[in-house]
Structure 1
Amino acid sequence: MQDRRPSSRFSPRSFLATAADDPVSRALRESARRMTGIAIFSGVINLLMLSGSLYMLQVYDRVIPSRNLATLFGLSAIVLLAYLVQGYFEALRARMLCRVATLFDVDLQEAIHNALVTLPLRGVKPAAMQQPSRDLEQVRAFMSSMGPTAFLDMPWIPIFLLGLFLFHPVIGMTALAGTISIVAMTVLTERLSRGAAKAATESSAQRQVLVDAIQRNAEVIRALGMTDRFKARWSQSNERYLQENMRAADLFANLGSGAKVLRYVLQSGMLGVGAYLVVSDKASGGIMIASSIMMGRALAPVEVALSSWKQLVAARQGITRLRAICKETARPPVPLLDLARPCREFVVQQLTVAAPATDTPIVSSVSFALTAGMGLALLGASASGKTSLSKALVGIWPAKSGTVRLDGAAIDQWRSEDLGRHIGYLPQEVALFDGTIAENICRFDERATSEAIIRAAQIAGVHDLILRLPNGYSTPIGQGGLSLSAGQRQRIGLARAIYGDPFLVVLDEPNANLDTDGENALSRAIQILRQSKSVVIVISHRPSVIAALDMALVLYEGRSIAFGPCREIFARVGATVTQNAPRTQARPGPKSAPQYAAVPEHV
């Protein structure tokens, strides 16, 4: 399948220009607003950081020459109080950063959840499906770390430089040159680390996808003797991840160590310059010590930024991807009106369907109409487009062209939650969730009543089966329904599709794992649904289920070649098969089974 990862459609520059109203930008603006208070605390902390330099200046210039212990004790008490207040404000700032990061996560919960449930329907590669949650975690982790404090402290660097110039112009020029050098180191770090960090992130995502696939298919891998083969694939993926991660780690380690060495050189150089000025009688010993301490404080934000640069790059790339994905998967505008429950007709008009992220149509120009109480058998050979059409009928796959209407209104005119109440859907692979049987049947609706749950189970013919389980409707089924057999999962999935008396019910191979009793229960359920004025569409190859339906639609290579009453369609198919009998050898099977799989295109 062609890869169309949403993040590849947009450039970072276009986001900065056009993403003013996307949820990520709104959350960032709110976080910036909350950072205002933290910036005030940072200002107080930076002012208090001057206390160490001033203390050393006063000790060397006043206490030692005068040998006044009272002054020493007074200055020590003052600086101790300043340190305590500084520590309190630093702890308070760290706690506030954690809360700002948490609120950023909360602001994006809806958008991220919408992306997670939408991306699989857009044909996105598995490596990108879980990327939004990982990106959000990276951004939140950086926002709650000490990284942002470096940028909050950087505006105070000119204040420290000004203080150094006040000590002596030579000291100020030395500090300015050092600051320019370490800023140049920061720019170099940015340019060199961008590609390495991106490659490490992508290799990590690919490795995680392979891990998930191995865990999901562990039984098949063991049974078919593929353990060694997947071990080789895992080794290749893991080695690639380790190499990229090592390359990025080496780069950050080298740049970080270089920045630290540069800071040491600058601090020692500041001491040397101060010593020269002291020897030349142009400065005091207190200025020499205080300037060295103040220089270290001026460069501390840059050093913190360099030490957390890896997290910064990952967070920035994560924000870019989050903007792309949230914009790509944004919900459509909410309809202004709540439409009434459909109850009259279901119409498909010139519907063309393509798989997500592809342009080649699987189903082309299909049209039909059903009124309340009708049942449609969707027939055709394998790969004729039946499942693809069923996904478009319930709104899973968007139509490439054409419309699907309930009582005259296109299905996109309903809210997703409202439309879901009017539709019942049972896919080929029944997907149940970790929870009780009752929760799965009622679609995890907290307002569901016991009567509605039991009614759905009774219509599906699974009520007695559920009662025989250890805890009845409260029986936990485990992740994916692993504690149930395939037939039990299919029948509970049928009850879930029936729950709420939906107007449209689409069943894709609903009897693939059923025994005779299960098929009889399915036929009764279809008849009850039709008597309740629901429209039922069934994809099946077994005549026992098709007998409960009154209409049939035959697909051949994605096109509708026959639509009408079942008896008429089967008669036409039978006549065609009879005409082609000398040229085509019939497959062995029950004589009563309709031979729609062999329908030629001209029928």
Structure 2
Amino acid sequence: MNAFAQLRGLIAPLLVFSLITNLSVLISPLFMMQVLDRVLPSGNIATLVLLAALAIAALALQAVTEAARDISLGRLSRWSERYGADIALRPNEGDAQGLIDKVSNFAGFIGGSAALVALNIPWIPLICAALLFIHPSFLMLLMLLVVTSKGIEMIAASFASSEQDAASKVRTLEKQTLARADQVQRQLGMQNTLQNLRQRFFSLLEARHTHLEACQRTIGFGTGAVALVRSSGQILALALGAYLVTLNKLSPGGMIAASIILAKGFATIEALLNHIPILRQNYRDYKSLCAQSTETIATSIDMPDLDGHLRIEGIIIPRGGGAPPRLDRVTLQLAKGECLAIVGPSGSGKTSLMNAMSGEAPPPIGSVFFDDNELKGLPPAALNQSVGYLPQQAALISGTIAQNICGFATEQGDAKILTAAKLAGVHGLIAALPKSYETDLSHDMYLLSSGQRQRIALARALYDDPQYLFLDEPNALLDAEGEKALAQTLLRLKEQGTTIVMILHRSGIMGLADKVLRLERGRVADFGPRREVLARLGLGGRRIELPILESSSDDLKDWVASQFTRSSDEAFSQKAQAVAAELFSIACQNQSKNTPRIASFVFTFVDDTHCEISMVEDLPNDLAKKMASARENLRKSEVFLTDLPRDEAALARISKLCDRYQVRNSEDATHFTVSLAGDTDISDKGREWIN
């Protein structure tokens, strides 16, 4: 049950406090009545002493009661803020800031004067009954004073509202005029216009002040009139009481008592009328807080350290509206320290699966098990300690780099920060900054590139030494150096037994995966060891199909680079990437504007120092004339590559880099095969001669 709803049980004791404080208003009237009616006529000093002692004891009780009430309301206010903040800041809460504002307003209401006004409401009839008991005329006078006061306020507000609206409209015109002046100020030859706009602004300013003066005058007269009614109330009560005394319908003590009670009643009713909007708003906030979910996760049981095994069973994430689900019955299992690569076309459900597995968005149907612990049963603290998550475009927030890495932990561990940074391969990068780990990203975010921010975010994901690491396209924003550092980090994590799940579009770190999961339209199209899945995808990773788009060139080069695993083959790899890029450039020149096309590449090692790259594009390409033109240019003494058409320049570069090449056209495709040797230097020479 929501604890806010249980606050209703505290209304009764608080009303008891309020009853005692409201009854205390009768102490002075009753004392005066008894003194005037009993002590003075009889001259009995003992009665006076007894009455004074009783009055002082009652006032002491009032003081103790008010102190206890204020302390109780203060504690209740602080409890409401703590409990409400706990609800608002739970994971997956929608408008957390809006909920925090409601909690803050409600806590301020409980600890402020508005709560005292609310507690006085049930006792207004008591005050009215006391006046009625003394004489009905005093109750009629109270009602007359309240109606007169409220009427004056409403009339004053009615007259002032038109002036306030006019002042608001003029203020809008002022802002527009200043905006126009700011535009004109940046342009030449418009000084006259600028001067006119300034004069217009001061004219509007004067007009707004005139409206505000009229508004203030009306409100001032209204406030003064209400103060006059309030001050006159007790005098009128005394006058009315004196008149009733002359008619022998009231005693002098009753006259004094009625004037005091009437003043208290008028103040109470006036405060209530002024606080009605506040009371309504806080009542709405209270009902909203009572309606908040109070699902809690037991934290009293110490959870064992998670070992690294991961299992998901029958995950289904509905899309709604009768559409196919985002994920449909996905099941898999990973052992401790295994690395899973999730691949598939855009929209196939990769990110949805990642979020479901990591606990960022637990699946509504199906189960995720960390070791033997179901995800929904894990305390948030245990999950946060054991799971690291890196989104595709991670955000760093205002604060120092050290604070970002430790996640703004209250007890910042410098050793853990350094360990995480070194493990992520960013310690050198951070140390090279002017302020190192104390670099304030609220001012110096420009010092970091997108890839560098991503690597720092990886250090943040590694800060708590998680047993599970989830990475959404971790190499998407990284350059070659960053990707190598990422690969080294993942290798070290695998050696430590960390279970890794990553979504990949670029294949640069595919070789680190132990298993591959391929998704298509939310379903598992293939799952198993990397070599087997890649073999089923095409020639054990030696074959790839790419859309003929300029943006696919980087993917092609990454794929070619992944074929080389020896550090000594770096030059050979660069040469093969360059040739593949030129082949792809030829295909792009032959692109159809209306029909999307696919190019298929096959990579084959002939031996340790020779390889072949074959490209098949699904459209005939008239390369015969282009080859002839390229050969003709080769015979010339001096020809610059930049002078040739792009496709002929590509053919010329290929002819210089390869041992041999072959082009064959069929009815509906072009076959291009290039043989390469790994002993040719392909350093960029800028403008190359073709001889």
Q: CA deviation at 1:104?
A: 2.6
Q: Helix, strand or coil for the counterpart of 1:544?
A: coil
| 1:331 corresponds to which of 261, 285, 296 | 296
Equivalent residue runs for 1:194-593 within 5 Å: 274=241, 277-278=244-245, 280-283=247-250, 287-288=254-255, 290-327=257-294, 330-334=295-299, 336-343=301-308, 345-354=309-318, 361-446=325-410, 449-478=413-442, 484-574=448-538, 588-589=552-553, 590-591=555-556
2:105 is the counterpart of 1:105 = no
Give, as a single letter, the amino acid of the residue that structure 1 aligns with 2:73: V
Q: Quick one: distance in 2 between partners of 1:360 and 1:260?
A: 70
Bigger mean CA deviation after superposition, 97-106 or 388-397: 97-106
> Does the 8 Å CA contact 1:348/1:368 hold for their aligned counterparts?
yes
> Does the 8 Å CA contact 1:157/1:299 hold for their aligned counterparts?
no
Q: Quick one: distance in 2 between partners of 1:480 and 1:415?
A: 36
- The RMSD of aligned alpha carbons is 5.0
Cα offsets for 1:194-224 (capped at 9, x unmatched) = xxxxxxxxxxxxxxxxxxxxxxxxxxxxxxx
> Does the 8 Å CA contact 2:121/2:272 hold for their aligned counterparts?
no
Q: CA deviation at 1:387?
A: 1.3
Q: Quick one: distance in 2 between partners of 1:333 and 1:481?
A: 40
Pick closer, same or farther for the CA change 1:359–1:158 going to 2, 3 Å: farther
Q: CA deviation at 1:523?
A: 0.8
Bigger mean CA deviation after superposition, 353-362 or 483-492: 353-362
> Does the 8 Å CA contact 1:57/1:289 hold for their aligned counterparts?
no
> Does the 8 Å CA contact 2:22/2:123 hold for their aligned counterparts?
no
What corresponds to 2:115 in structure 1?
148
> Does the 8 Å CA contact 2:516/2:529 hold for their aligned counterparts?
yes
Q: Quick one: distance in 1 between partners of 2:464 and 2:97?
A: 32
Q: Helix, strand or coil for the counterpart of 1:23?
A: coil
Bigger mean CA deviation after superposition, 452-461 or 437-446: 437-446
| 2:20 corresponds to which of 29, 35, 43 | 43
Q: Quick one: distance in 2 between partners of 1:514 and 1:586?
A: 21
| TM-score where L is the length of structure 2 | 0.58
Q: Helix, strand or coil for the counterpart of 2:139?
A: helix
Q: Quick one: distance in 2 between partners of 1:357 and 1:260?
A: 63
2:3 is the counterpart of 1:23 = yes
Gaps of 5+ in 2: 151-222, 561-596, 599-691
Q: Quick one: distance in 2 between partners of 1:400 and 1:528?
A: 34
Cα offsets for 1:158-192 (capped at 9, x unmatched) = 65455445534x44xx6289679989x99xxxxxx
Q: Quick one: distance in 2 between partners of 1:523 and 1:407?
A: 26
Give, as a single letter, the amino acid of the residue that structure 1 aligns with 2:508: S
Pick closer, same or farther for the CA change 1:465–1:333 going to 2, 3 Å: same
Pick closer, same or farther for the CA change 1:348–1:272 going to 2, 3 Å: same
Pick closer, same or farther for the CA change 1:346–1:89 going to 2, 3 Å: same
What corresponds to 1:222 in structure 2?
none
Q: CA deviation at 1:393?
A: 0.8
Q: CA deviation at 1:487?
A: 2.2
> Does the 8 Å CA contact 2:146/2:269 hold for their aligned counterparts?
yes
Cα offsets for 1:519-560 (capped at 9, x unmatched) = 110011111111212111111322212232232111222222
Q: CA deviation at 1:486?
A: 2.3
Q: Helix, strand or coil for the counterpart of 2:509?
A: helix
Pick closer, same or farther for the CA change 1:270–1:352 going to 2, 3 Å: same
> Does the 8 Å CA contact 1:434/1:478 hold for their aligned counterparts?
yes
Q: CA deviation at 1:26?
A: 4.3
2:96 is the counterpart of 1:132 = no
Gaps of 5+ in 1: 1-20, 187-255
Q: Helix, strand or coil for the counterpart of 1:528?
A: helix
Q: Which has the higher contact order (CA 8 A, sep 6+)?
A: 1
Give, as a single letter, the amino acid of the residue that structure 2 aligns with 1:144: G
Q: Quick one: distance in 2 between partners of 1:429 and 1:584?
A: 25
Q: Helix, strand or coil for the counterpart of 1:109?
A: helix
What corresponds to 2:569 in structure 1?
none
Q: Quick one: distance in 1 between partners of 2:312 and 2:475?
A: 25
> Does the 8 Å CA contact 1:574/1:594 hold for their aligned counterparts?
no
Q: Helix, strand or coil for the counterpart of 1:22?
A: coil
Pick closer, same or farther for the CA change 1:553–1:318 going to 2, 3 Å: same
Q: Quick one: distance in 1 between partners of 2:72 and 2:438?
A: 38
For this pair of structures, how many residues does the alignment match?
484
Bigger mean CA deviation after superposition, 559-568 or 515-524: 559-568
> Does the 8 Å CA contact 1:142/1:148 hold for their aligned counterparts?
yes
